[in-house]
Chains A and B, each alone.
Chain A
Amino acid sequence: MFRFIFGRLAVLIPTFIGVSIIAFSFIRLLPGDPVMLMSGERVMSPERHTELMHQLGLDRPMYVQYFDYLTGLLQGDFGSSIVTKRPVLEDFVNLFPATLELSLCAIIVAVALGIPAGVLAAVKRGTWFDQSIMGVALIGYSMPIFWWGLLLIIFFSGYLGWTPVSGRISLMYFFPQVTGFMLIDSLISGQAGAFKSALTYLILPTTVLATIPLAVIARQTRSAMLEVLSEDYVRTARAKGMPPFRVIGIHALRNALIPVITTIGLQVGVLLAGAILTETIFSWPGIGKWMVDSVFKRDYAVVQGGLMLIAAVIMLVNLVVDVLYGLVNPRIRH
């Protein structure tokens, strides 16, 4: 087992170096220079421009800049924002819990609804119920979620006034950030109504972000279930007169879940991509919105550091999924 994990880790190192080269060189290729943006409409004198380029170290040869960058990375220094001058890592640590909370809620909703929907559709295969579930799932799968989010805002926040428009919690509440998870922090704070408020702020963004994973999981569960249900041992169990609930719930579902778990693991990247759009629409203060804003502000220190950190998170999650899968299913360890 350890060998398996170490093997995976060893593969990660070249990948990580590759990622750092990509993040580094991309950003150097961005048109326009960040110093010009610092003064906006007011034109900067050429001398001052040179001075600032020098101050930011942008006038040094590329390989020197990359080497410095890599050295910094190894010491946990991901650079500092050009706009705010704050360390990138600090902002990431501040903002990541918001994204994580939203993503976890979305994946929980997707699993909690997607698996039962898929199982039911498989069991009632070919019926009206199956067809409508799969129809809805395909619509969800085809959904441009940025548009979906706008529609939900127009209807639930604008027209009905049921849900708040954006943010993480009503600003009337203020408590220190302990875990960074608003749901947990609001409970710790002990302020009346804070948890409920945090929950209402989560509803729409969660719905939007969960849409595609939900559809994928439902579809995947259904096909996995269908495959398992046609296998001999399930037929045998049925033939032996085992109650359908036990057949489906214990024998079939357990085996059908293995591919579904892989699918869920694969949704992490999808979730982070979705978070970019969802957070932009709902002004959710997470890393997706942070990255988009930074791209537009040409804050390339942040884009570069952010790309690295996000890639690191994805690689780590993939590793964990791999290892878990290896635990569940010893056959693939080789």
Chain B
Amino acid sequence: MKKLSTLLAATAIATLMAGSAWSKTLVYCSEASPEGFDPGLYTGGQTFDASSRTAYNRLVEFKHGGTELEPGLAESYEVSADGKEYTFKLRKGVKFQTTEYFTPTRELNADDVIFSFERQYKTDNPWNKYVAGASWEYFAGMGFPDLIDKIEKVDDLTVKFVLKRPEAPFIANLGMDFASILSKEYADKLAADGKMELLNQQPLGTGPFTFVAYQTDAAIRYKANPDYWNGKQPIDDLVFAITTDAAVRAQKLKAGECHIMAYPNSADVAELKKDENLTVLEQEGLNVSYLAYNTLVPPFDKAEVRKALNMAVNKQAIVDAVFQGAATVAKNPIPPTMWSYNNAVEDDKYDPEAAKKMLEEAGVKDLHMKIWAMPVARPYMLNARRAAELMQADLAKIGVTAEIVSYEWAEYLKLSSAKDRDGAAILGWTGDNGDPDNFLDTLLGCDAVGGNNRAQWCNKDFDDLMTKAKATADVAERTKLYEEAQVIFKKEAPWNTLDHSLVVVPMSKKVTGFKMDPLGIHRFDGVDIAE
């Protein structure tokens, strides 16, 4: 049977190939429809895969497969002594894509850069509200409206960003998707034609792939950009086959209907590994999942109590049951792939007996608590409900009664931020830019209490370290500060750090040059397929 099916698949593909005139086509089974094609407007990873990582470039780029930065559309940059002025020298001779809907007449210049950013914060810019309900979530989320003073054109190929205060993570933020550089010439043409909304439907940038067509909820098509400044891609066509069900994606990959798939079910990974036509890449993702106690509410205001509860939970069991092993137990609030990860920190050991004793010593008896479980699967926590059930069983062993509660996702996000929240909440975070500040200060800083800081934890020593690190440009020094912060975090235990999930990318053995990306994006530049 098996043989028959491979034979059928092979003939099917052979006939198909003949039909498509010898072009090399890479098919990627993506997990969701893109929200749109203007990366500044959205937050979904699938949108970025389909827009910013294919059609666009940024001033600086993340190294393929890492979180370090490398030059992108800017060849180099300089920072002024006070850390407030960043001057970028643009690459010369960068061409925008030529498509059926637009033929550019000029190359990339400073106007394009200024256009790409100003539309996101100048409310009088005609592009600020060019689609109904436009909002620039990431631009706002990274604090840019309060950070950027102005952006100036020095000459055609030089742009200067003036900041209101020194901010070390700024340069990493420019590698993020919302900072993609669009063509002002194209935008002007659309505005003149009165079709501004097309900017979000027919992207046109400097990136490795040229957008061809989007078939709603079914497929997105690209072709290699022949004028790409970094050389034409080895493949000719790139297709995103939108397949929302993970089990179905796996089936399609096995059937040879796609070459690479996003986010397999952890349950399917073992099976996919067994398939001799497939390889499965794995890497720790840039994420963390945690159980945040409410440190403002007794008895969880005591570090001993939090530590005792941490010791009662068998995190390995959670990783096994929820991720089928496709995750590692977390001990720090930042993932191991991030610089400044402090490997010397020791995790609270799983020891129910000792935990029971510690609770008694802290004077806590017959503790009743609530565990908040998210209603949705997120990359860092595939099944919060299942994890909560396991914790509930573990806590019962030390005499703690846990009740699992859940809310609708939007409610959950809102209510879990409340300072008087009753119970410990499961939540997590996926890094945006590879900077430790993006985890430590965002999630645990004093400013974030009542917001992203779900533990409502404000520790003076920790917070001072954060402030210091933000104002320092030197990476070695920042590393030291963040390492120290992780020691304080572990001692105080505002969270039970649960896991860092692995990013898993199964693909056909024919594919070469695909690199895992800790940021969770899927990039197809440099990817080839063997005939």
Q: Which A residues lie at the B interface, using CB under 8 A? A: 31-34, 36-45, 48, 52, 55-56, 80, 82-86, 91, 94-95, 153, 157-162, 164-168, 170-174, 177, 191-194, 197, 280-283, 285, 289-290, 293, 298
Can you list, as one digit per residue, whether each of B210-235 has a CB less than 8 Å from chain A (1) or not (0)? 00010111110100000000000000
- Which one of A52, A85, A161, A168 contacts B218 once the chains associate, using CB atoms below 8 Å? A168
Contact indicator B413/A36 (Cβ below 8 Å) = yes
List of A residues within 8 angstroms of B252 by Cβ: 164-167
- Which one of A85, A173, A293 contacts B131 once the chains associate, using CB atoms below 8 Å? A85
Known: A157-B251, A285-B217. 18 other contacts (CB 8 A): A36-B411, A41-B428, A42-B141, A43-B417, A80-B132, A82-B133, A85-B35, A161-B255, A162-B5, A162-B8, A167-B218, A167-B252, A170-B16, A171-B258, A173-B16, A192-B18, A281-B245, A283-B242
Is the C-beta of B241 less than 8 angstroms from some C-beta in chain A?
yes
- Selecting from B19-27, B293-301, B316-324, B391-399, the interface stretch reads B19-27
Contact indicator B6/A161 (Cβ below 8 Å) = yes
Contact indicator B216/A94 (Cβ below 8 Å) = yes
Looking across the interface, which residue of chain A has its beta carbon closest to that of B245? A283
Contact indicator A86/B248 (Cβ below 8 Å) = no
List of B residues within 8 angstroms of A153 by Cβ: 248, 251
Given A37-B409, A80-B133, A165-B255; A173-B19 close (CB under 8 Å): yes
Whole-angstrom CA separation of A37 from B242 in the bound complex: 22
Contact indicator A31/B411 (Cβ below 8 Å) = yes
Can you list, as one digit per residue, whether each of B452-478 has a CB less than 8 Å from chain A (1) or not (0)? 100000000000000000000000000
List of A residues within 8 angstroms of B442 by Cβ: 42
Distance in angstroms from B407 CB to nearest chain A CB is: 8
Looking across the interface, which residue of chain B has its beta carbon closest to that of A282? B248
Is the C-beta of B1 less than 8 angstroms from some C-beta in chain A?
yes
Distance in angstroms from A126 CB to nearest chain B CB is: 40
Distance in angstroms from A188 CB to nearest chain B CB is: 15
- Which one of B16, B36, B131, B427 contacts A172 once the chains associate, using CB atoms below 8 Å? B16
Whole-angstrom CA separation of A94 from B429 in the bound complex: 35
Contact indicator A289/B8 (Cβ below 8 Å) = no
Is the C-beta of B367 less than 8 angstroms from some C-beta in chain A?
no
Whole-angstrom CA separation of A191 from B20 in the bound complex: 9
Distance in angstroms from B39 CB to nearest chain A CB is: 13
- Which one of B15, B200, B216, B239 contacts A193 once the chains associate, using CB atoms below 8 Å? B15
17 CB-based A-B contacts, threshold 8 Å: A41-B428, A41-B452, A42-B137, A43-B452, A45-B451, A52-B135, A55-B133, A84-B35, A85-B41, A86-B36, A160-B5, A161-B2, A170-B12, A177-B215, A282-B248, A283-B245, A293-B244
Contact indicator B213/A161 (Cβ below 8 Å) = no
Contact indicator B140/A164 (Cβ below 8 Å) = no
Given A84-B36, A171-B241; A39-B137 close (CB under 8 Å): yes
Contact indicator B413/A41 (Cβ below 8 Å) = yes
List of B residues within 8 angstroms of A85 by Cβ: 35-36, 41, 131-134, 200
Contact indicator A39/B141 (Cβ below 8 Å) = yes
A interface: dominant SS: loop
List of B residues within 8 angstroms of A45 by Cβ: 451
Whole-angstrom CA separation of A33 from B411 in the bound complex: 8
Looking across the interface, which residue of chain B has its beta carbon closest to that of A173? B19
Contact indicator B413/A283 (Cβ below 8 Å) = no
Distance in angstroms from B247 CB to nearest chain A CB is: 8
Contact indicator A171/B219 (Cβ below 8 Å) = yes
Can you list, as one digit per residue, whether each of B347-389 has a CB less than 8 Å from chain A (1) or not (0)? 0000000000000000000000000000000100000000000
Looking across the interface, which residue of chain A has its beta carbon closest to that of B201? A86
Is the C-beta of B154 less than 8 angstroms from some C-beta in chain A?
no
Contact indicator B133/A161 (Cβ below 8 Å) = no
Contact indicator B133/A171 (Cβ below 8 Å) = no
List of A residues within 8 angstroms of B41 by Cβ: 85
Can you list, as one digit per residue, whether each of B109-151 has a CB less than 8 Å from chain A (1) or not (0)? 0000000000000000000010111110100110000000000
Contact indicator B137/A32 (Cβ below 8 Å) = no
List of A residues within 8 angstroms of B33 by Cβ: 84
List of B residues within 8 angstroms of A80 by Cβ: 131-133
Contact indicator B216/A38 (Cβ below 8 Å) = no
List of B residues within 8 angstroms of A44 by Cβ: 140
Is the C-beta of B497 less than 8 angstroms from some C-beta in chain A?
no
Whole-angstrom CA separation of A285 from B43 in the bound complex: 23
Given A43-B417, A170-B12, A285-B216; A36-B241 close (CB under 8 Å): no
List of B residues within 8 angstroms of A193 by Cβ: 15-16, 19
Distance in angstroms from A208 CB to nearest chain B CB is: 14
List of B residues within 8 angstroms of A160 by Cβ: 1, 5
List of A residues within 8 angstroms of B52 by Cβ: none
Is the C-beta of B267 less than 8 angstroms from some C-beta in chain A?
no
List of A residues within 8 angstroms of B254 by Cβ: 158
A36, A43, A83, A94: residue with the most chain B Cβ atoms closer than 10 Å: A43
Whole-angstrom CA separation of A33 from B412 in the bound complex: 11
Whole-angstrom CA separation of A34 from B413 in the bound complex: 11
Looking across the interface, which residue of chain B has its beta carbon closest to that of A168? B218
Is the C-beta of B414 less than 8 angstroms from some C-beta in chain A?
yes
- Which one of A36, A94, A177 contacts B410 once the chains associate, using CB atoms below 8 Å? A36
Whole-angstrom CA separation of A168 from B243 in the bound complex: 11
Is the C-beta of B257 less than 8 angstroms from some C-beta in chain A?
yes
List of A residues within 8 angstroms of B221 by Cβ: 174
Distance in angstroms from B74 CB to nearest chain A CB is: 27
Distance in angstroms from B50 CB to nearest chain A CB is: 12
Looking across the interface, which residue of chain A has its beta carbon closest to that of B221? A174
Which parts of B247-274 form the interface with A (CB within 8 Å)? Answer: 248, 251-252, 254-255, 257-258
Is the C-beta of B17 less than 8 angstroms from some C-beta in chain A?
yes
Looking across the interface, which residue of chain B has its beta carbon closest to that of A39? B137
Looking across the interface, which residue of chain A has its beta carbon closest to that of B7? A161
List of B residues within 8 angstroms of A157 by Cβ: 251, 255
List of B residues within 8 angstroms of A34 by Cβ: 410
